[in-house]
Structures are given as C-alpha cells and as structure tokens.
Amino acid sequence: MTARKRDDAAKGGEDSIRTGLSEDSIRLAFLDNLFYVQGRFLEVASLDDKYKALAYTVRDRLLHRWVATVRTYQQTNPRTVCYLSAEYLPGPFMGNNLLNLGISEVTRKALAGLGIELDDLLEHEEEPGLGNGGLGRLAACFMDSLATLQIPAISYGIRYEFGIFNQRIRDGEQVETTDNWLRYGNPWEVRRPHIACTVKLGGRTESYHDEAGRWRVRWLPSETFRGVPIDTPILGHGVNTVNLMRLWSAEAAEGFDFHAFNRGDYYGAVVREVRSETISKVLYPNDEPEIGKRLRLIQQHFFVTCSLQDMLRVLGTTELPPERFHEKFCVQLNDTHPAIAVAELMRLLVDEHHLDWDLAWQVTHNSFAYTNHTLLPEALEKWPVPLFESLLPRHLEIIYEINARFLDEVRMRFPFDEARVRRMSIIDESGPRYVRMAHLACVGSFAINGVAELHSRLLKETVLRDFYDLWPEKFQNKTNGVTPRRFVMLANPGLARLLNETIDSSWENDLTQLRALEKYADDAAFLERWRDVKRERKAHLGLLISRLCGARVDPDSLFDVQAKRIHEYKRQHLNVLHIVTLYNRIKHDPSSDIVPRTFVFGGKAAPGYFMAKLMIRLINAVGEVVNRDPAVAGRLKVVFLPNFSVKLGHALYPAADLSEQISTAGKEASGTGNMKFAMNGALTIGTLDGANVEIREEVGAENFFLFGLTAEEVEHRLAAGYRPRDLYENDAELKGALDLIGSGLFSHGDRDAFRPLIDNLLNSDPYLVLADYASYIACQEAVSGVWRDPARWTRMSICNVARMGKFSSDRSIAEYCRDIWKVSAVPVVL
Ligand code: 26Q
C-alpha cells in the first residue's frame, strides 16, 4: 500500500467523521469528540466541554491538512523560513480556523441543530497572550500570511505557562493578575516529547585535541535541562498549507534527578525539576529591556538553542550536510531577542559538527536576517558581560572571536578611526562592559530591515548608521502589514459581506482589489449601507463597554479610539489634554457647540513603568468626573476598556470612527493598530510617524487628519533648547487644561496626584506633548467639522478602506520572500 493510500484509509474518505466538511459530518464529529475525547454527552456538557469538542473537530481537519503538508515537504525538500520570535499573539484560534477552512456557516448550522450557538463557543475561548504588543502580533499576522501564500515555514518561540498579565482597573488604577491560560488545557496544541532538545547552561569551557590532533573547545555546563516542543498547526486561508508554530517548554533533563534521589535527597531532586520549569514559566511584561534580568537571557538562549538544534535535526533527515544549512533554511530574527542565535549556530557548527571557523561563519552569516523594531536607544538590548559569561561562557568566547575578526574588517575599511571601532564593537567598553545584541545581529546577518519607510531611513541615519556606512547593501525596508482575514473578515463580518456583495471576494487574498470600491464612494445607497455596518459594530461595542465598564455610550456619537500599550512616546496624555480642553470649553460656555464624542482607551502598562500607570489613572480620573457631570451629558464620555487583547481588538477596530495614532514623530517604528483601524473604515488622526506616513500616502492627504512636528523638526526643537513651560504660559487653553488637572478636580482635591506627570510636561517634556498640543487641537476641530457632514465622512471612510491594500501582511510577506528569504510557494494538494 502506498503512503497516500494508507492515509486515505486512515481518514476514511471525504465525509469521514475526522475530515468531512459537510454539516452532517461536523455535527457527528462534534458529538463523537464530546463523547470519546471529553467523556461527556450533550445533556450534561458544560460550555467548556462543548468548546473543546468543537475545537477537536476543527483540529482533526487541520491535522489532515498538516499531514498532507508534511508529506509534500518531505517529497520536495523545499527551502524553509524559520521565524524566531520570543513573542506570539495569535489571538483566539477557533474563529480563524473555521474561517480559513471555509466552514464557519456550515458549523454554525451544525451546532444550531444541537441547540448550540457558535458565538457562545467563540466567546468562551481564552487567547494565548504570549506577547506584549505589536511585535508579537506582527509575528502572528506573518504566520497567517506565510501559510496563505503557501510558504514552507516554522515559527519558533517559547510556550510561556503564564502569558501577559490580565489587567483590571480598581479605583481607577491598573491591577495585574496572572494569566493562567493553560488552566483548562489547550486543545490546539500537540506535544512532541520525542524530539526534545538538551539545553546547557553555566559552567566553563576547556580546550582539547581530538583524535586527528586538532585543537577544539568543549563546554562543560554546570546545568542541563530539556526543551520539549509543543506544536500548533497554522492553516492558511483557502489553501491546504498548514505550517507549524513550534513553542518550547522547559523541563528537567531526566524528569527526575536520580543522583540526588539515590543520595536520599528527594527534596533536592524535585527542587531541580521545579527550577527547570521556571525557564518557560512567565513572559516578561515589559516592551523594553531591563538591564541584567538573568532569567530573560536564559529564556532567549533556551528557545534559540532548541530551535537551531531542531533545524539541524530536520537537515539530517534530508541528508544534506551541516555546511549546507543556509540552503535549506533562512532564519529571521524578530528583533534582537533571538540574536544569541548567531553565536549558538557557530557553536553548534564548530564545536558539535566540527566545521572549521571560516566555513561555519559563511554558513551562519548566510542563514540569518534581522528585523529591527525600534529607534529608541534605551530599547536596544545589551547584557552585562559578567552575567553573560556566567551563563554562556562558550558563547562569550565565540562572540569575542567574531568581534575580533569583525573589528579587523572595520579597521581595514576605515583606517585610523578607533572611535568608530569603539562605537561598532559588539562589546560596549565605555563603562561597565556589555554585549550589544543589535551589533551581534547586524554582524551575523546578511540582511537588516526596518518595519516602515521612515523607520528604515532613520535606522540608517541614527542607531545603525555605522553599520550602514560599512554594509549599505545589507539594509532594506519591509513595511509591516496585518492580516485582513482576522482583522476584517473575522472581526467585521458585516463589512466583509458588504464588500463581497459590492465587488467580489477576491480582496480576501489580494487586498489591493478593494480599489474597486472607490467607484461607490458617491453612491448614496452604498453610503447608507456603509453607515449601517459601522453603526451595528458601534452598538456591539457599546454592549461590551456597558458590560466591562458599566458605562452607557451613545452609538451615534463619534467613537474616538486609542488602543495600544501605554507609553509616554505614544502620548495618551495628549489625547487626555484634548478631552480636558473640550471639558473646559463646555464648562466656560455651556451652550458651546461640540460634536458628541465617546473617547475609548485600551492598553496595558508595564507593571514597573510608573509614568504609564499614572497615565492610566489620569484617563480613569478624567472619565470619572466628565461622565458624571450633567453639564456635559450627551456630549463627552470617556471609557477605559480593561485588558486590551487581540480578542478585544476584534470588537474595537470595527467600531472606531477615529483612530488615534499620535506618537511623537520619529519614535514609533511602524505601528500596526493604525492599519487595523483604517481597514475597518476609521479615519486616522496622526503624526508623520512610522507607517502613518505610508498610510497617508496611500489613502490620500485629503482623507487623513495630519498634525504635529515632523521627525526632523522634533530633533531640531530638542537641539535648540526646548522650553515647554513657555508654551504653557502662552496658550490659555493649554494652561487651562493642565491647571485643571493640577487643581485636584479629577483627584478628589489631591493636587499632587498627577504632579509627576504635569511637572514632567512643564519641565522637560521629552516627547513634545506641549509642542504638538495646539496643532492637535486644531486638527481635532477639523475632525469635528467633517463629522458634521456625514456624507463627506462616509466617503472618506470608504476611500480609506479602498486604498489600504498595501497594508495586508500578504504584501509584507511576499516582499520578505522575494528580497530576503528567496523562497517560493509550495502548493499542497489534499
Ligand atoms: C527585551 C528584552 C528584555 C525584556 C523585554 C524585551 C522586549 C520585549 C518586547 C523589548 C521589546 C518588545 C516589543 C517591542 C514592540 O512591540 N515593538 C513594536 O513592534 C511593532 C511591529 O514591528 C511596531 O509596529 C511598533 O512600532 C513597535 O513599537
């Protein structure tokens, strides 16, 4: 029997209970799984039982395609992308998998026949919060596009037992609780204990001569443990390709320390077991590095060594030798978090596979490409040399050797320029010594990219300037994108339906097709339907707001939304100054004609970021007063939606009228929320920062609310001795807003509650909130003006959606494939 025949027999034909896509097969499969996997029957099944039974039903259909994908790849041995990321934010799986399988409606009917509402099961799913924000979500959008474009790819990362904390708001403040997402089990994953990898740590190195008399080094670690892969299938849209998200979970090497056990040290043996598990226990909740966090460095090494060992294992099965690693794999480094991979691949090739240094370096350098996601110098990762040496002594030696050879190259190109050599060294020796991870990534990669045009340009001019001087050919731009499957089709089914009825469904896998909408921008009937879609999503969000915040909002008001991590550079406080300004106007002139607005905020603050937490308190405090004040009733509402997540994003993006993208120019690498809002018909108020620049270019300046200083102007203002207090003294409305916050009105008379924030703005204001205030307020006036003309607003909204084609992650991934990875589609037939 051929392998394929065997598979066919196992799956049992097209309407098999494991693979069939008809309403009947799905209903039978659901009941079967409920019975044989859960040990339940319908009458006693809990919501969770039903959710799991459906999840297993869907997973069976994914595994069917997964097997077909693996078979295809075994036969064709294609070049494969390995995406290395410390974070993934995939969002809830169920809805997306149903969508990509094309069985959402059939499944809805199958369940309805059993008296079950599909939406209740979708609502029940708890998402894996294995990331902080943009970078982790980008990785998830890229997985969706890679599978949809039928590119062989594996996404490697860490299976944190506790993801990003859950945020609650108590007395107006952020309170963190643990995210125990695995509590009830995870039906989407498959554990693969048989391909576990060994991870070494600490100890020392020694040199020796091998049988052939060659000088070698070996690493004698003080500890070893195991990484077990846990796989999640990632299906593309409308194709059979299923790629893998392979996340590593840490365990004790032997499952038990027999040495200690035999000594009678039962307790010590268990402690070691627990210590090993600590490594993948929890995600660091900061989106900026903190100096010297030992466990964080261990996490990075842990997932990197497991992933590279896994690639070498796969390479072995293809009978290609290690020196051809770079032909089989292209390894993308999602920021510097996995940059240790450069040293680790060298170690594996030289110490364990016995390649000589120069050949190993050729392989390594041709394998890696590095994506940078930040321009903030304080956000560049660096590790104290003593810490690094104590955990990874062999890696440090290897880095010294890489560095010595690299600095020779710098000296050859730029003789007598020791200042440049010091600036570029992988080791920072200007004070206490550090390993600079961005330098390691640049030296070890054949390509380096930023994530938006402006960001890529500024990288070359600022933080990576010396590297650009040396290797201009390495630098590229790959503007970010987001997946229209999750963020339009899944989040906004009403809009998807309208698009399909108006044009056709080709936009789902080619977002540029939305251009065809433009010719309906003057069609009154179409405008009406467009508004109906938005209104329905606003009513839906309104229900969620009343459930989560206990506030009633008016779906006819302008929904003005800012949802993203809380950061000074993202300037949520500039938004608050606008709110307080409007409040002052109403208080001073109760009859003033103000467009009714609902301000919605969402986002988490790093638990140790004092100023971000104070910004959350300010938003809630202002809401508390404004929402109760009868003088503003019906005109202003301010709500803070707790625990922003991918799932909440589904409800938020489609309901927004106005998208706040107001970071200080030159600080936001790209932003991706900006794209999700605009794709759902929100208009953007924004600065010339990150991908806003390109969004404005695409949708047209007349369809974008621009304000604020440019990146160049920001630099000049700061260089020329910026004095924010002068702005405060000379702008009555700005002074009025800041004074009101300082008066204690929003803090039960406590004038000091927001003092650190106000003082920071008046005395230093590093993100130029006050410099952009007047321009922002004027721009918000223009927003209100357009809102008063609903036909005009709706036309602008339609034009935004019609021209967002560029920002599909399919376009980003196609560019990575063409310009960096050199991979092409490998279709899978079932
Ligand atoms: C590093 C070391 C130690 C602890 C934590 C970290 C760490 C973790 C997460 C550093 C940074 C992050 C996340 C960064 C991030 O999300 N950056 C965003 O990436 C998006 C995708 O490219 C961009 O759109 C955003 O502009 C950028 O801020």
Count the neighbouring beta carbons within 10 Å of the beta carbon of residue 76. 10
3-state secondary structure 284-298: CCCCCCCCCCHHHHH
- Domain region containing 341: 77-92+127-478
In a domain, 825, yes or no: no
Active site annotation includes 519:
no
Joined together, the tokens standing for residue 538 give 């606003």
Predicted confidence (pLDDT) per residue in 377-409, tens digit: 999 999 999 999 999 999 999 999 999 999 999
pLDDT greater than 70 at residue 3: no
Mean pLDDT of 533-551: 98
288 CA to centre of ligand 1 in angstroms: 7
- Of 426, 443, 478, the last residue of a domain is 478
Average pLDDT score over residue span 228-239: 98
| Confidence class for position 46, pLDDT limits 50, 70, 90 | very high
The candidate with the shortest Cα–Cα distance to 535, out of 796, 802, 790, 808, is: 790
- Between 16 and 14, where is the model more confident? 16
Residue 260 pLDDT > 70: no
Q: With a 6 A CB cut-off, is 672 part of the ligand 1 pocket?
A: yes
**Given pLDDT bands bounded at 50, 70 and 90, which one contains residue 15?**
low
Domain assignment of residue 593, yes or no? yes
C-alpha 692 – ligand 1 centre gap (Å): 18
CATH of the domain at 365: 3.40.50.2000
Atom of ligand 1 nearest to the CA of 672: 24
Q: Tell me: the pLDDT tens digits for 658-690?
A: 999 999 999 999 999 999 999 999 999 999 999
| CA–CA gap between residue 182 and residue 165 (Å, rounded) | 13
- pLDDT of residue 292 exceeding 90: no
501 CA distance to ligand 1 middle (Å)? 39
For residue 160, count CB atoms less than 10 angstroms from its CB and return exposed for 0-12, middle for 13-18, buried for 19 or more.
buried
Total tally of structural domains belonging to the chain: 3
Residues 683 and 570 in one domain: yes
226 plus 361 within the same structural domain: yes
**Given pLDDT bands bounded at 50, 70 and 90, which one contains residue 270?**
confident
Residue 553 belongs to some domain of the structure: no
Q: Exactly one of 567, 578, 635, 676 is catalytic; which is it?
A: 676
> Is the pLDDT confidence value at 811 over 80?
yes
Residue 254 has pLDDT above 80, yes or no: no
Q: Are 88 and 157 in contact (CB under 8 A)?
A: yes
Which of 618, 596, 600 has its CA nearest to residue 560? 600
Using a 10 angstrom Cβ sphere, with 0-12 exposed, 13-18 middle and 19 or more buried, the burial of residue 710 is middle
Q: What local confidence, expressed as pLDDT, does residue 605 receive?
A: 98
Residue 548 domain flag: no
405 and 510 housed in the same domain: no
Together in a domain, 440 and 330: yes
The whole-number pLDDT of residue 10 equals 56
Residues 382 and 254 in one domain: yes
* Residue 468 and residue 363 in contact, taking contact as beta carbons nearer than 8 Å: no
Is residue 648 located within the same domain as residue 507?
A: yes
Residue 251 belongs to what H/E stretch?
Answer: strand 242-252
Q: Which atom of ligand 1 is nearest to the CA of 669?
A: 26
Residue 113 shares a structural domain with residue 133? no
User: pLDDT band for position 291 (50/70/90)?
Assistant: confident
**827 is a domain residue:** no
Same domain, 360 and 457: yes
Q: What percent of the chain has pLDDT over 70?
A: 97
Kindly state whether residue 822 falls inside one of the protein's structural domains.
no
684 is catalytic: no
SS3 letters for 369-393? EEECCCCCHHHCCEEEHHHHHHHCH
> How many Cβ atoms sit within 10 Å of the Cβ of residue 322?
18
Atom of ligand 1 nearest to the CA of 455: 26
The pTM (predicted TM-score) of the whole model is 0.97
Distance CA 279, CA 659 (A): 38
pLDDT digits (tens, 9 = 90+) for 161-180: 999 999 999 999 999 999 99
pLDDT above 70: residue 822: yes
User: Does residue 58 sit in the same domain as residue 86?
Assistant: no
Residue 138: the pLDDT is 99
Which is it for strands 223-235 and 190-191: parallel, antiparallel or unpaired?
antiparallel
672 is catalytic: yes
Q: Whose CA is nearest to atom 4 of ligand 1?
A: 289
pLDDT for residue 649: 98
- Pair 500, 642 in one domain: yes
Contact 427, 435 (CB under 8 A): yes
Residues 223 and 254 in one domain: yes
Closest CA to 229 of 216, 219, 218, 244: 244
Give me the mean pLDDT over the 516-527 stretch: 97
* 109/156 same-domain check: no
From 427, 448, 478, the end of a domain falls on: 478
Does any ligand 1 atom lie closer than 6 A to the CB of residue 671? Answer: yes
Please state, rounded to an integer, the average pLDDT across all residues of the chain.
96
Active site residue 124: no
- At 93-136, the pLDDT tens digits run 999 999 999 999 999 999 999 999 999 999 999 999 999 999 99
Best of 158, 287, 667 to mutate for ligand 1, by most ligand atoms within 8 A of CB?
A: 287
